[in-house]
Amino acid sequence: MGLDGGTKISRTDILRGQSWAVANSDTSRSTRGGAVQAGYLHQSKEISKKDRAEACWSACALSGAALRSPVAACWLGRLYNKEAVIEHILARQGSFVSEEATYAFANRLHLQEEFGHLKTLKDIFNVHLTHLQTDEMLDGGLAATHFGCPVLHLRAGAPGVEFQALSTCGHVISERALRQIDEQACPLCSQTYVDADVVPLYGNPEQVSALWSRNKRL
């Protein structure tokens, strides 16, 4: 698939576009920090559940860039490139690491409801994602990889498969695998945890609401 000039669009480009569409698919408009102009029109694109899940598990929720190590999660259950979060926090304080970071922060000002909770590094924790090789092939004959459960080898983003991050050790494991373990200890490193250390990733509305409430109490 190419453009008029013959440029080919990569899978990463597509995922980046999907992630930005996900971030902007909320039709709400906050009046915090200023009034909404009377002529404001919000044009939203409906995102399929499949595209939403793939974007969430392939791209940084903040920058839209492909997820790459080091990866972090916030206490609301979203995944980020840690570098992007650091730049965002510095930008909130008026310090920009580059001209690109300045423009990126300006473009996110209308998403303060989504990312306003990212104020310090205490608002995130490092996570360890597991790559699973699939039968899907990419251009050049390379096998595609996706993030998944290191215990049951379930693919992240697959319908009906929920994942959770353990803030104590950072391992990301399917909810199904954790449910099968009698004791509250990470099956990969044996680090113990309590219920408050378990963060559902990209959970349902009820889970996200509970995480918001818990985050406000911290």
Name residues whose C-beta falls within 8 Å of residue 122's C-beta, 6 or more positions apart in sequence.
none
pTM summary value: 0.72
Closest to 172 (Cα-Cα) out of 84, 67, 86, 25:
67
Q: What is the mean pLDDT of the segment spanning 145-152?
A: 90
**Tens of pLDDT, residues 103-137:** 666 656 656 667 889 999 999 999 999 998 766 65
What domains, with CATH codes, occur in the chain? 124-217 (3.30.40.10)
Residue with tokens 């971030």: 23
Inter-axis angle of helices 82-92 and 99-107, to 10 degrees? Answer: 80
Q: Kindly report which listed range (49-63, 177-191, 192-206) carries the lowest average pLDDT score.
A: 49-63
- DSSP, res 66: B
**Tens of pLDDT, residues 62-109:** 998 999 999 999 999 999 999 999 999 998 887 766 667 666 666 566
Give bridge partners of residue 163 from the DSSP assignment. Answer: 174, 201
* Residue with the larger pLDDT of the pair 3 and 62: 62
